[in-house]
């Protein structure tokens, strides 16, 4: 039984027809052509499917789309200019194949919102639920610290 849901997506009021069993990632891809959030491990462990729901990061592959009714959804595609986090990832080379990158960027923004000057331990724990098989981890840690410095200057 499909039903129509209404929510805000990257700042815009939208609607979509969804079946109860469809995940947020599926609906974002099918109905809105947004592919930055991707299902990879399918178990909420890798972070490739990261989406923000009411400002908090969730695993989109485990989030039923129908529960997004009335909520504020944000994806990696939100925003016109590259922010400090995205610039930092480019500069330090904190990406290789790029499949996990959107998830890392979104989680890093959350991390820096909560901890503007994180130490190594805080970074590793906060991002422990984001996997990178290319193992760009050292460069990612550098990117987080660079973004933190840039944000503090602004």
Q: Does 131 bind another protein (CB under 8 A)?
A: yes
List the interface residues with another protein, window 31-50 (CB under 8 A).
34-38, 40-48, 50
List the interface residues with another protein, window 77-96 (CB under 8 A).
77, 82, 86, 89-91, 93, 95-96
List the interface residues with another protein, window 61-80 (CB under 8 A).
62-64, 66-67, 75-77
* Sign of the torsion angle spanned by Cα atoms 61, 36, 83, 67: negative
* Residue 122 beta carbon to another protein: minimum distance, rounded to whole angstroms: 10
DSSP codes of every residue in 92-130: HT--SS-SSHHHHHHHHHHHHHH-SS--HHHHHHHTTT-
Q: Does 116 bind another protein (CB under 8 A)?
A: no
């Amino acid at each position: 039984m499909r039903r129509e849901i209404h929510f805000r997506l990257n700042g815009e009021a939208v609607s979509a027809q969804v079946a109860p069993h469809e995940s947020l990632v599926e609906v974002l891809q099918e109905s809105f052509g947004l592919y930055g959030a991707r299902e990879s491990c399918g178990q909420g462990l890798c972070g490739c499917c990261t989406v923000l729901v009411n400002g908090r990061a969730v695993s989109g592959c485990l989030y039923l789309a129908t529960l997004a009714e009335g909520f504020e959804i944000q994806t990696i595609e939100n925003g016109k200019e590259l922010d400090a986090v995205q610039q930092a990832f480019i500069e330090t080379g904190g990406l290789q194949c790029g499949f996990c990158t959107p998830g890392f960027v979104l989680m890093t923004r959350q991390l820096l919102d909560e901890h503007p000057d994180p130490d190594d331990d805080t970074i590793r724990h906060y991002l422990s639920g984001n996997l990178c098989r290319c193992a760009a981890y050292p460069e990612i840690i550098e990117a987080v610290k660079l973004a933190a410095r840039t944000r503090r200057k602004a």
